[in-house]
Amino acid sequence: MVLDDGTPMPIDTVDLQWPDAAKRLEVALALTGFVQLIGHGLSNASRRDFRAVSDVFFGLDHDTKTRFIHPDPAANRGYRARGSEALSYSLGEPSPPDLFESFNTAPTAPADVHHRLRQSTPWPNEVTPGFSSAATGCFHEFGKLARHLDGLIGEILGLPWLAERSASGPDMLASINYRPDPDGAEQLVDGQLRMGAHSDYTTFTLLDADPVRGLQIVGPEGEWVDVIPEPGALLMNVGDVLAMLTNDSWPSTLHRVVPMEAGGAPFRRSVAYFHYPDLDVEVAPLDLFVSESMPARYASVTVEEHLLGKLVAPKTQQVATAASTTAGRKTS
């Protein structure tokens, strides 16, 4: 596959209907930590409906949208205004605030409100009718695919418990909006991006993005390279959990979203599903990936501990306290 300027895209494509999908997935994720998925079975209708209500919500005025901000930064629910967080802080690297807005959702069982990482979503149904039903339908579609991928990854890594122990994790579905100012410009300060460089804190993330420029990942030689999905395809990337389990054999790849002056499309939207094991699952390098020449790089940590040590930092603009899976990785 090539980009629109003829440059080869630096990630593999895997059709999940192929009989050897698990093996192909293993090869692709070990290469860059990113892969394009086709044959994923995700409903076009559910994605279309969630994008439609998201577009309506993001089109509302600022004061209306900010009524749906969750007061607890660890909740990871509700509206996040443009300029309200800086994801580079999750790597311990200060930067100006990021230029995106998002709405983060998850269906919530009554018992979940007792934990900071699984609180209720402040649904905006009063200003965007049907928002919660569209988001919930899309969330469940992504969840079904995530369970299938857990099965494949569990088979690859010899973790038969992975799918079962990922049924009650703090999964989250986000609609993310990148847009210029009303006059069509994009005012930046030095070092500002639409979304700062970061790794995800997940087992893996699934991304349904507009097929336009903006997303960049760090390639094998440390260079920033564009990734543009084919229409209808999903992107999947390794998160910190899989990087720690595989002792970085599967890299939790650095990625970012660049502004218009760096080649990003004027308008770009994406829907991201962030998937985790259950909060009490202990994560540490598997014996398969540890040797005398490759000692364990990570101490054992629960999903809850890692996520709390990462999630709040970008929102409070403080340095993250959890381990970085990208330390020492070169970029150019």
142 vs 308: CA distance, rounded Å: 23
119 in a structural domain: yes
127 vs 67: CA distance, rounded Å: 10
* pLDDT tens-digit series, residues 59-87: 999 999 999 999 999 999 999 999 999 99
Range of the structural domain that residue 89 is part of: 41-316
27 in a structural domain: no
Residue 142, both tokens = 């992504």
226 in a structural domain: yes
Tally of structural domains, the chain: 1
pLDDT of residue 141: 97
* pLDDT tens-digit series, residues 23-48: 999 999 999 999 999 999 999 999 99
Distant-in-sequence, close-in-space partners of 231: CB < 8 Å, separation ≥ 6: 211
Q: What is the DSSP string of 109-140?
A: -GGGGGSTTSPPP---TTTSTTHHHHHHHHHH
331 in a structural domain: no
CB distance 173 to 193 below 8 Å: no
pTM above 0.85, yes or no: yes
* pLDDT tens-digit series, residues 103-126: 999 997 766 667 889 999 999 999
- For 279-282, which contacts have Cβ atoms below 8 Å and span 24 or more sequence positions? 279/115, 279/117, 279/118, 279/168, 279/169, 279/170, 279/303, 279/304, 279/307, 280/304, 281/165, 281/166, 281/169
116 in a structural domain: yes
CATH of the domain at 227: 2.60.120.330
* pLDDT tens-digit series, residues 262-275: 999 999 999 999 99
324 in a structural domain: no
pLDDT of residue 111: 67
185 in a structural domain: yes
2 in a structural domain: no
